[in-house]
Amino acid sequence: MRRLGIALQRAQNTLSRQADTFARTLDLTGTQIIIIDFLNNQPVDQPIYQKDIEQEFNIRKSTATNILNLMVKKRLIIRQIGTHDKRLKQISLSPQAQQLAVQIDTFFENSEKAIRDKLGDTAKQELTKQLEKLFKETNM
């Protein structure tokens, strides 16, 4: 494997497959568990809006709308009129998703540990730092 892009894609495919397999045990999708995990790990006093999810996961507005609408339909998230801006709808986890968040957090913690065990702490931290730099510089 000579190209970095291909290596990243292969790694992403593997991680996505693992997340999808776990998510199916909860009758969810990999994307849904990632969003639940994201929402669960935000400060309680920080309102989260669709735009935040679009930015965090680098997805288009239409994609985020479709994902979030399905999550509302499955009663995983609640949309409420924003506290700071009445034009925006604040997104929060439903009680059902809050219960699932414990299992989801454990899954992601175990996944992170497995990566750390394979790469080592220093290499994992450096890889994460470099990937964040690459993302930031290519999305300006």
Q: Reply yes or no on whether the pLDDT at 6 is more than 80.
A: yes
From the list 57, 71, 55, the residue with the least C-alpha distance to 16 is 57
Read off the pTM: 0.88
Three-class HEC string of the chain: CCCHHHHHHHHHHHHHHHHHHHHHHCCCCHHHHHHHHHHHCCCCCCCCEHHHHHHHHCCCHHHHHHHHHHHHHCCCEEEEECCCCCCCEEEEECHHHHHHHHHHHHHHHHHHHHHHHHHCHHHHHHHHHHHHHHHHHHCC
Query: How sure is the predictor about 1, in pLDDT bands with cuts at 50, 70 and 90?
Result: low
Tell whether the model's pLDDT for residue 104 goes beyond 60: yes
Which of the listed CATH numbers 2.40.30.200, 3.40.50.300, 1.10.10.10, 3.40.50.20 matches domain 4-138?
1.10.10.10
Whole-number pLDDT of residue 28? 96
- Which is higher by pLDDT, 46 or 35? 35
Domain ranges of the chain: 4-138
